[in-house]
Amino acid sequence: MTRLAVLADIHGNLPALRAVIDDMAQYEVDQVVVTGDSINWGPYSRGVMEVISERRWPVIRGNNELYLLDYDTERAPAHWARFTMPPYLRAQLGDQWASAIAALPDTLQLRFRDAPPIQVVHGIPGDPWTAITPQSSAAQIRRWLRDCSERALICAHSHIPLERHVGDWRIFNPGSVGVPLDGEHSASYMILDGRADGWTLAAHRRVPFDTAPLLAEFERTRFTERCGVTAHLVIDEFQTARLQLAAYLDWKREHYPGRGDSFDLLREFRELPDIEPYMPPAYRGLTSALYRD
């Protein structure tokens, strides 16, 4: 048997990663794999990459690694010009880590001797921006995985932990280590066991972490001064463990189309009695329970 720890969406949250490492010690894992979005959002992107590198964990890129690598290049979509966080992220990481991340793969195929191959992607095969969620239909998933020969898939991106069975595929999303969005301030990760007959979920873990060091580091690095309205919404996500930025953007598109960000709009958004109507459907009423089907 091979025992695999699956971590995803650490998002520069070093206190959460350290809590997970302490918790993992009880499982005697054979390997740890990191499923993208190790950086950005949190203020410790460099520290997270140092831990991953020191421990020689296999790691792939997610969409947040592309913000680092493609921002302010000809590859960047036009609307990225409005983004305020990539320069802050680049300052955290510096050229050396940017070069290391540039060489990371976008996908991995893990081939242990005693278990079937398992594919590792951030979103879906070939697309780190699209997530498999509880709302994804079986027909959608079959289309997304039609070229995936492996019958076990590890994915991430949504921050929603799940285990799904669709056709012959078994799909695992460990949730987010660094930015939980279900109202529970605890890191989420999975332990998988691989045997000749396939991969099974041995444990889905939730591990509390302290947000105080994050908030202190945000203040020390002048995050809100450098990144404006977006920074305040990111901090709100860490404090509430709920989706904020995407809800704000949807609210602004509906009520103030074409208008730029401002602190007046941020104040109005924060005064809303309920922001769930502006969240994507997968995040409305989201609880900390593992989704399984």
As averages over each run of 10 residues, the pLDDT of the chain (293 residues) reads 99 99 98 99 98 99 98 94 95 96 98 97 98 96 95 98 96 98 96 97 98 97 98 98 97 95 97 97 91 91
- Token pair, residue 241, equals 């463990």
CA distance 129 to 70: 14
Q: Could you tell me how many residues make up the chain? A: 293
CA distance 138 to 133: 11
CATH level 2 (architecture), domain 2-209: 4-Layer Sandwich (3.60)
In the block, residue with structure tokens 């704000």 = 248
Domain boundaries, the chain: 2-209, 225-283
Nearest to 105 by CA among 128, 72, 74: 128
CA distance 209 to 77: 35
Q: What is the pTM of this model?
A: 0.97
H-state helical runs in the chain: 14-24, 45-54, 63-70, 85-102, 138-144, 212-220, 223-240, 245-255, 263-270
CA distance 12 to 15: 9
Nearest to 47 by CA among 214, 225, 238: 214
List the 152-154 sheet strands across, edge first. 108-110, 118-120, 152-154, 169-173, 162-166, 291-292
- Token pair, residue 275, equals 């922001």
Nearest to 182 by CA among 245, 242, 248, 247: 242
Q: Is 78 in a helix, a strand, or coil?
A: helix
> What pLDDT does 289 receive?
86
List the 198-208 sheet strands across, edge first. 31-34, 2-7, 186-195, 198-208
> What pLDDT does 142 receive?
96
Nearest to 61 by CA among 123, 117, 149: 123
- Token pair, residue 217, equals 């580091």
> What pLDDT does 108 receive?
98
Q: What does 105-142 look like in DSSP terms, one character per residue?
A: -S-EEE--TTS--EEE-SSBTTBTT----TTS-HHHHH
Angle between helices 245-255 and 223-240 (to 10 degrees): 100
> What pLDDT does 249 receive?
97
Residue type, 275: I
